[in-house]
A and B are shown apart, each in its own frame.
Chain A
Amino acid sequence: MESQLQGGPVEAGRASVMAEPDALLRAVARGDEAAFARLYDLVAGRVFGLVKRVLRDPAQAEEVTQEVLVEVWRTATRYDPARGSATSWIFTIAHRRAVDRVRSEQASADRTQRLAAESATTPFDHVVEAATARVEQQQVRRCLKTLTELQREALTLAYYGGYTYREVAQLLGAALPTVKTRMRDGLIRLRDCLGVSVG
């Protein structure tokens, strides 16, 4: 996936940080605990941060993060590099777990109410605050800014808020088909901006 990114010295750095988790995860699949410890250092901050962002509860976030990381160890044998990067595979597990937890523990009405009390753009503001100067973060931030307001809100509410597209439609006061379309359009634009490809 690195090959389609913009060129320059930054590129080589990004290629190596991206490739390392893939190699480590394959070693983990062979039972290499040292590789797992190294992989932990590379991804645990984002797994914890993502889970905490969705759950908004540090204690629960730690519990779920541990479950996710043990799951990564347990199912590393089934990671297929042809289907995407190791980090994507790990964050997808983390997101699914966090969302399952938040949806099972809270009635959706409560959550909708809670979020309605906040600005719909809050998650994105938090994103900007939390971001450090790392290359990938800058790139994701820059690319999110190329989206339309509605695309960006739909993506951030869904991903960082853990909301379904139906809830997002309600929160944004938009029609369901519009929200579905914006989520797909927005991700396609983000994909093209980031130069993501798979396989």
Chain B
Amino acid sequence: MNEAHTLAGAYALNAVDDIERARFRRHLDQCETCALEVAELTETAARMADLTWDEPPPGMKDAVLARIAQTAQARPGRPERAGRARAAGASGWRRWTMTAVAASVLAAAVGGTVYAVQEQRIEREQDRLAQVEAIINAPDASVRSEPIGDTGTVTVIGSRQRDEAVVMLDGLPEPGADRAYELWLGVGDELTSAGVLAADVGDGTAVITGYGEADAIGVSREPAGGSPTGAPTEVVALIAVD
């Protein structure tokens, strides 16, 4: 049993954080016997719910039946990564959030604050928008959003199939004179720069590539132009992605 696999129990109990969960799922993708054990441990953990029975609130059944009567069902067999037995819990949440988030990301992009980074330097505004829209509308797009400080939010909408993600920084504190926010792709324990935003701004939308294998997206505060060392100087957010 390798070291990663000691997390099987905590994973089955949902007692891991988002980054650990994403990493552990990647481990499961490569280990069939581990996936079987985890399926059994998850099944076992769920039996603990047998002890929690409580009288549902009156009226809840009618409310739920009324809601499902107006809710379309997901199409079967949506491709998910092999070995991922339990992704369904998050998918509805993701889709619901998607609608709200996509609107704000597009609004920001229309505002002209798109900074295409890495190899994807795109000159024309409508091409930038088309690129953002294509990622948001990708069939496998998923969204993660995290608050930063009192007013800021970092939102990541990524498509593994397209190997791309839109990262939106909204309302972050200004990074300071001659300083800038830099984006990072986290794969395993490695963080690789995914581009630097313009100096002195706390808002921006960037398209990054290399998302296909990412476990996490990081944001750091750096001297203008990016980290002098190739490693993040001051990490302000590390967002796990499924």
Contact = CB atoms under 8 A, between A and B. Distances in A.
Nearest to B96: A67
A172 B53 CA distance: 27
B49 A198 contact: no
B229 interface: no
B41 A188 contact: yes
Interface residues of A, number: 87
A134 B52 CA distance: 12
B74 A77 contact: yes
A70 B68 contact: yes
Nearest to A177: B6
B227 interface: no
Given A84-B42, A92-B46, A58 B57 contact: yes
A33 to B, nearest CB: 7
Looking at chain B's contact residues, the main secondary structure is helix
A104 to B, nearest CB: 9
B66 to A, nearest CB: 10
A33 B68 contact: yes
B229 to A, nearest CB: 29
Nearest to A97: B89
Contacts of A62: 56-57, 60
A111 interface: no
Interface residues of B, number: 55
25 contacts: A46-B49, A48-B56, A52-B54, A62-B60, A70-B68, A70-B71, A77-B75, A77-B77, A80-B85, A84-B43, A88-B42, A89-B86, A92-B45, A93-B88, A96-B89, A99-B14, A127-B51, A130-B52, A159-B48, A162-B14, A164-B15, A184-B8, A187-B44, A188-B41, A191-B43
Nearest to B67: A70
Contact of B50 (A41, A80, A140, A163): A140
Contacts of B9: 180-188
A28 to B, nearest CB: 8
Nearest to B10: A165
Interface string B1-26: 00000111110111111000000000
A197 interface: yes
B238 interface: no
Contact of A160 (B48, B68, B77, B91): B48
Interface in A17-36: 29, 31, 33, 36
Contacts of B103: none
A187 B8 CA distance: 10
Contacts of B16: 164-165
B6 A88 contact: no
Interface in B28-81: 36, 39-57, 60-61, 63-65, 67-69, 71-78
A187 B52 contact: no
- Of the listed residues B7, B36, B86, the one surrounded by the most CB atoms of chain A closer than 10 A to its CB is B86
Contacts of B6: 177, 180-181, 184
B90 interface: yes
